Structure formats: structure tokens, C-alpha cells
Amino acid sequence: MTVETKKTVASATAEIDIEKAQQFMHKVVADCAATVSVTLAVIGDQLGLYRALADMGAVTSAQLAKSTHTSERYVREWLINQAAAGYIEYDTKSGQYSLPNERAAALLDTDSPFYLGGALMIALAMTKAEPRIRENFRTGAGMRWGEHDPYMWEGCERLFRPGYLANLTQSWIPALDGVQAKLERGAKVADIGCGHGASTIIMAKAYPNSHFFGFDAHPASIEQARKHAEDAGVADRVTFEVASSTAYPGNDYDLVAFFDCLHDIGDPANTIRHTRDALAPDGTVLLVEPAAGKHIEDNFNPVGQFYSGASVLVCTPNALATGTEALGTVATDDALAAVVKKGGLNRFRRVLETPINRIFEARI
């Protein structure tokens, strides 16, 4: 009797259901294939292959290679992989490949709410951290944000910026009590853990009467944020400085914002304590954190899978390298509320959520 016709078979340790085993094999093969295609997607992005596909319409491998000054032998194989992955289309009659508009939005349009090029970059950067993180499992040591592959930093900006562009000034700030009016009149704002400054610059453009101070512990990110502020023409009202979340300068801030970073910070309660002291008496804290559920099983979906993986490979290691408390990327609302309260802010509420973020307001 062959394996196909039997319902169960004895493995080394136990009897297994063949159909279930085969279903799981398909899943693992699909995961491995997807991991490979993520690497090839980043290559396609960096070499302009997607850009050329979008601009040229239907192309052969020779045409694509010629227009991108790449090797046809590599491009030929890349196209097969990308068509197999469902990222591009293949026409069997003409032998040409194309990139449908909806997929071009996800792969090329960095301003689009559909854009996911940043997620691809981060996913690839995270795989490069595997040797360090594997060792950390044994030692309990950490790994700083700045020790990651640079794709991590650019990928983070590209991942979160479209969401900030679509939501920050349209719905998140208006949802905070009285903050929009202050920003329109002229307010003082700090953006802690600002990374490349995407959120800071979006706010600065929307509220020309206000002044913005971005702080981050990672010098290369601050350098990049300064360049972005110059390019955006807001450098006269936006200052970026290297500073830790527990010691950044300034006081009387009307708004202190934390975009996707409180859970990366190794000393979150002291960060909130310092922020309480830096706030104006009626100031507001805007806390943007990754989407996560109340129960562990609420995170058993692709977004929860991505974020909990990022927690292991990026966020928790940074917290452990720089402090004593790691909230984790999928910290519950209650865990966040507890830290905010410990830091001395008593009013805390979730004001909004998106598929990838939770938005909170905290006040003295």
C-alpha cells in the first residue's frame, strides 16, 4: 500500500494523519517560496525592474534587461519567480511580462496607502539579524536599532510613512482633545524616536505656525531626517537632534508624540516620566503603537505574525540592549496603560485604530 492510499502512517514518534501532514507541507513550502520572493522583490525594487515594468507595459526579459542595464540571464529567472509569486503577470501567447496597476501601487508608489515596499525591505533586513538574535536567545543580550542592516531604517520609514500620510493630520490629531486647534494656532511639538522624521515632517507641513523637535537615539537616522527636512522645505521650523527618550531637551511641549517606538524603548516608564516633566500643564501625549489584540490568539493573523516576529528580531532586542523593560511589539492596551500610569500620566485612552496601528492619547 502506498503512502497516498493510506489514511495514517507511523512516523518516527507517532502515527500521523497523511492529509494533515501534506497540508502542512504545502504551507511550509509556500512560506519558504515567499521568503525567497521577498529577497527577489527587494532586488527588483532596488534595480528599478518594477519601475521599468510599470513604465514599459508588457516586456520580454531581453527588453527589461536592456532598459534597466541588467543581465538578461538573471532577469529571465527573476521574472519567472515573480510571476510564480503572483507579483507580476505572464502572457503565455506573447511571452511577455507586465505589472498590473494595483500591484504597481503596492510596489512602487511610496505615498500610496497601498504601498508595501517598506514591509518587504524590513522582512529582508530582519533575516540578516538571525545569527545575532539566535545567540541572544542563549544569553538574553540585546541588539540595538543601529546595528541592523540599513534596509531596516529605510524600510521602517517606507513602511509607516504612507499610514502617517493618510491618517495623521486627517484623523489621528483631530481625534485628540483640543490638539488640532493648538497646532493650527502655533504649538511646540516633540517627536520622540522619530527615525527618519517622516511623521515630524508631515506634521510640520500641515501646521506651518508650529515648531517641531524630532529626537532619536540613532545618529544615522537623525542625519537622514535632517536631509528630508531640507528637501521638504521645513528645516526652518523642524529641528532634529540625537537624544534618548529619557533625556531629550526642552519643556512646555504642547504635544509629545511616539510613533511606533515606545515598545522599542528599554525604559518606557522613565520615558513617560521624563515626558510628563517636559509637557506643558495641559499638554498631550500621542502614542502610536502596532496593532495588537487583547488576547494572544487575537494576534494569530498575518499582521500579528509580522509584528510578533519583528518583536523577536528587532524591537525586544533594542529594548533589552538599552534598558531593563521590553514591552514587546504586540503589548496589550492594558500593558501600555500600566506603563503610562507608572510614568505619571493618569488619563489614557485609545482614540482610534487602523489595520496596522493603535492610536492612544495620554495626559497628566
Ligand X SMILES: C[S@@+](CC[C@H](N)C(=O)[O-])C[C@H]1O[C@@H](n2cnc3c(N)ncnc32)[C@H](O)[C@@H]1O
Interacting residues toward ligand X by CB under 6 A: 145, 156-157, 160, 193-195, 198-199, 216-218, 221, 244-245, 259-261, 264-265, 318, 322
Residue of this chain nearest to ligand X (CB atom): 195
Q: How far is the CB of 239 from ligand X (least distance, A)?
A: 15
Name which of 44 and 195 has its Cβ closer to ligand X.
195
State in angstroms the smallest separation of the CB of 7 from ligand X. 48
Q: Locate 211 and state its grid cell.
A: 515648531
Length of the chain: 364
Nearer to ligand X, 70 or 244 (CB): 244
User: What distance, in Å, lies between the first and last C-alpha atoms of the chain?
Assistant: 72
Q: Assign 227 to helix, strand or coil.
A: helix
Which of 42/217 has CB closer to ligand X? 217
Question: Do the Cβ atoms of 330 and 299 come closer than 8 Å?
Answer: yes
Q: What are phi and psi of 188, to 5 degrees?
A: -110, 125
Q: Are 275 and 256 in contact (CB under 8 A)?
A: yes
Between residues 143 and 187, which has the closer beta carbon with respect to ligand X?
Answer: 143
Q: Report yes or no: 169 and 338 within 8 Å, Cβ to Cβ.
A: no
Residue 220 beta carbon to ligand X: minimum distance, rounded to whole angstroms: 9
As measured in angstroms, the least distance from the Cβ of 22 to ligand X is 39
- Considering the complex, state which of residue 244 and residue 299 has its C-beta at the smaller distance from ligand X: 244
User: CA Rg, the chain, in Å?
Assistant: 23
CB 271, min distance to ligand X, A? 7
DSSP state of 336: H
Crossing angle of helices 101-108/18-46, nearest 10°? Answer: 70
CA distance 132 to 143: 8
CB of 35 to ligand X, least distance (A): 22
Beta carbon of residue 8, minimum distance to ligand X (angstroms, whole number): 46
CA distance 207 to 187: 9
19 phi, psi to nearest 5 deg? -65, -45
* Residue with smaller CB distance to ligand X, 193 or 343: 193
Whichever of 254 and 260 has its CB closer to ligand X, that residue is 260
CB of 26 to ligand X, least distance (A): 33
Dihedral (CA of 166, 295, 155, 204) sign: positive
In our burial notation (b when 16+ CB lie closer than 10 A, e otherwise), range 323-335 reads bebbbbbbbbbee
| Minimum CB–partner distance for residue 121 and ligand X (Å) | 13
Distance, in Å, from the CA atom of 72 to the CA atom of 318, rounded to the nearest integer, reads 41
d(CA 262, CA 144) in angstroms, rounded, equals: 14
Identify which of residues 99 and 362 has a Cβ nearer to ligand X in the complex.
Answer: 362
Nearer Cβ to ligand X (275/318): 318
Contacts with 180 (C-beta within 8 Å, 6 or more apart), sequence order: 173, 174
